[in-house]
Structure 1
């Protein structure tokens, strides 16, 4: 990330969060502090300057909607670094600092001959944010490659390690999103990347490109994913957004059968547990929202799952748009959409 030029642990007043959220909202924090080491994160608990203040941990800001100014201290994570920390017969163990750019990290693992994350290429955000959301795309969730993470408990300064079970990963969900928000700062994440690589090429965009490529390897999947995402999704650096704004809803088989009878063209994916995942973008598109706007907040004209800031939108306008979409989808399909980003 591009941090302002101020030393770590210097307290900045009236700090703009414009560069720390991918929607491009110019919300402000009463104070901000850059944290660029684990030791600095541990020291926060004893920092009398911020005792009693609300605290907001921010990485790349790719999964947050800032609807107001923050009357507290924004803790800007700046812990970098990546390395192979071990291996066994089945996998490499790779650790990355929380502030490492996610896509750059995926690129680095492939360049060093360690495939396994290629389906998650070009997802915006940082490594530290990936476990919070349990990011996923094109048939792979981050939790499948996760080994453990290291964090600091903000109230005590204690260093804590979380394994996969403790993180309680779900579909675009984790312990940190449900119960750990505001309690911990993730400082680094360790991934287990398999030495016996097998492709994940079930999604149509990837399957077509993978079959057509002369290279049937992880790089071919990486290239296909990058091409597909660039075609369908806007670049947040030129058009503010937080990627997919809604989760794909899950319904049980009987509810799906009833819905399919009235909506034969519905896009769906059967799940191993008997539930059916619906394509939220299709539901939104069928309600006529693609390309529409409420003031400066809009639905992207190529992907109905993405809400965008056309310039000058506020977080409140984006939430107003999201609520209108949810209302229409519920009215037509009887399905309630759930937002992916955290709203503040």
Structure 2
């Protein structure tokens, strides 16, 4: 069975997670197609073993070696599937880098993903997290996806409602966690295209440049510039992007906090609740630039934790817990980490 599968043993996952944390995978299988997933399911040894699905590793804090079989998703492919009156439908293999898909869409004249430029990770991981940035979430552009069931080897196709998208959440973090491998994702890019500019940093760019009707490419360039200024490049400094979710509070909670801290950055949500800026709270507690062991808080953005050299997962977790404690002590808010801690 193994002949057709790329199976490796004793693989250090340091190059495969953006935080560059050392951790050994006992067994790693590279998945290039749905057929590869089925081969794993049918294999007498691999089929029965617990599985760990690895995409771009941009949302992981690895604190220990991984005994389950690591399925490293590398399914390729980018294509325009259909041009409808109301939308373009684009399909991407789960192993493609998300930013490569966004760039490809720009080059092909298929606007609609530009606000989500430069989000780290793979296409297959995008629905798991329901990634989002600058006013758009994946669910706003989602058509459907294919996934292979790790028990039966059958391919299932799910639409947006079935994926149960929520803020940085989906069915794949809940009922289907670790039970399916996403292989292909289809996105729906609405026609005619309309710019999404209702975000402070983009409004600032419009004001600075005087470009009131920017093209999709212009927005893409702005988003890339804003993200590069705020977030470290994982190729240069190990990190997992935003480390904590922005907490959502009731209007009453928000009022209480504003009375104590009038400066706190907060955004109204469509449902009447408020989203608080976790980075602002961490900064207010004096964490920016601080270090625990080899793990630190990024100087330019307190929401980002970084690897200052040879950090280990345990140091990152220790730092994150210390930040959570001090934010809770001051604001009475418990910050939730965005990355998955293994």
Does the Cα contact within 8 Å between 1:213 and 1:220 map onto a contact in 2? no
Rounded to whole Å, the distance in 2 between the matches of 1:340 and 1:94 is 27
Rounded to whole Å, the distance in 2 between the matches of 1:227 and 1:239 is 18
Does the Cα contact within 8 Å between 1:210 and 1:220 map onto a contact in 2? no
Q: CA RMSD in A?
A: 1.4
Rounded to whole Å, the distance in 2 between the matches of 1:10 and 1:142 is 31
User: Secondary structure of the equivalent of 1:127?
Assistant: coil
Does the Cα contact within 8 Å between 2:295 and 2:308 map onto a contact in 1? yes
Does the Cα contact within 8 Å between 2:41 and 2:150 map onto a contact in 1? yes
Return the offset for 1:213: 5.6
Aligned counterpart, 2:231: 233
**2:159 aligned with 1:163:** yes
Rounded to whole Å, the distance in 2 between the matches of 1:123 and 1:176 is 19
Rounded to whole Å, the distance in 2 between the matches of 1:122 and 1:176 is 22
Rounded to whole Å, the distance in 2 between the matches of 1:134 and 1:12 is 30
Rounded to whole Å, the distance in 2 between the matches of 1:47 and 1:126 is 26
Decide which of 291, 314, 322 is 1:324's aligned counterpart.
322
User: Secondary structure of the equivalent of 1:318?
Assistant: helix
1:130-141 equivalence runs, <5 A: 130-141=126-137
Rounded to whole Å, the distance in 1 between the matches of 2:43 and 2:12 is 22
Return the offset for 1:81: 0.3
**2:310 aligned with 1:312:** yes
**2:112 aligned with 1:116:** yes
Deviations 1:3-26 (A, max 9, x none): xxx986132111111121100012
Does the Cα contact within 8 Å between 2:91 and 2:185 map onto a contact in 1? yes
Q: Decide which moves more: 32-41 or 245-254.
A: 32-41
Aligned counterpart, 2:91: 95
Rounded to whole Å, the distance in 2 between the matches of 1:179 and 1:299 is 33
Does the Cα contact within 8 Å between 2:29 and 2:72 map onto a contact in 1? yes
**2:223 aligned with 1:219:** no
Return the offset for 1:203: 1.8
Rounded to whole Å, the distance in 1 between the matches of 2:305 and 2:4 is 34
Return the offset for 1:51: 3.6
**2:190 aligned with 1:194:** yes
**2:48 aligned with 1:52:** yes
1:242-261 equivalence runs, <5 A: 242-261=240-259
Decide which of 254, 263, 266 is 2:264's aligned counterpart.
266
Rounded to whole Å, the distance in 1 between the matches of 2:309 and 2:157 is 40
User: Secondary structure of the equivalent of 2:192?
Assistant: coil
User: Secondary structure of the equivalent of 1:128?
Assistant: coil
Rounded to whole Å, the distance in 2 between the matches of 1:213 and 1:43 is 56
Rounded to whole Å, the distance in 2 between the matches of 1:272 and 1:203 is 14
TM-score (norm 1): 0.96
1:272-283 equivalence runs, <5 A: 272-283=270-281
Rounded to whole Å, the distance in 2 between the matches of 1:46 and 1:213 is 59
Deviations 1:140-185 (A, max 9, x none): 1111000001000111101011110111111011110122221010
Rounded to whole Å, the distance in 1 between the matches of 2:24 and 2:314 is 15
Rounded to whole Å, the distance in 2 between the matches of 1:213 and 1:260 is 33
Decide which of 202, 205, 219 is 1:209's aligned counterpart.
205
User: Secondary structure of the equivalent of 2:45?
Assistant: helix
Rounded to whole Å, the distance in 2 between the matches of 1:210 and 1:35 is 43
Aligned counterpart, 1:3: none
User: Secondary structure of the equivalent of 2:246?
Assistant: coil
Pair 239,7 (structure 1): closer, same or farther in 2 beyond 3 Å = farther
Rounded to whole Å, the distance in 1 between the matches of 2:112 and 2:17 is 28
User: Secondary structure of the equivalent of 1:93?
Assistant: strand
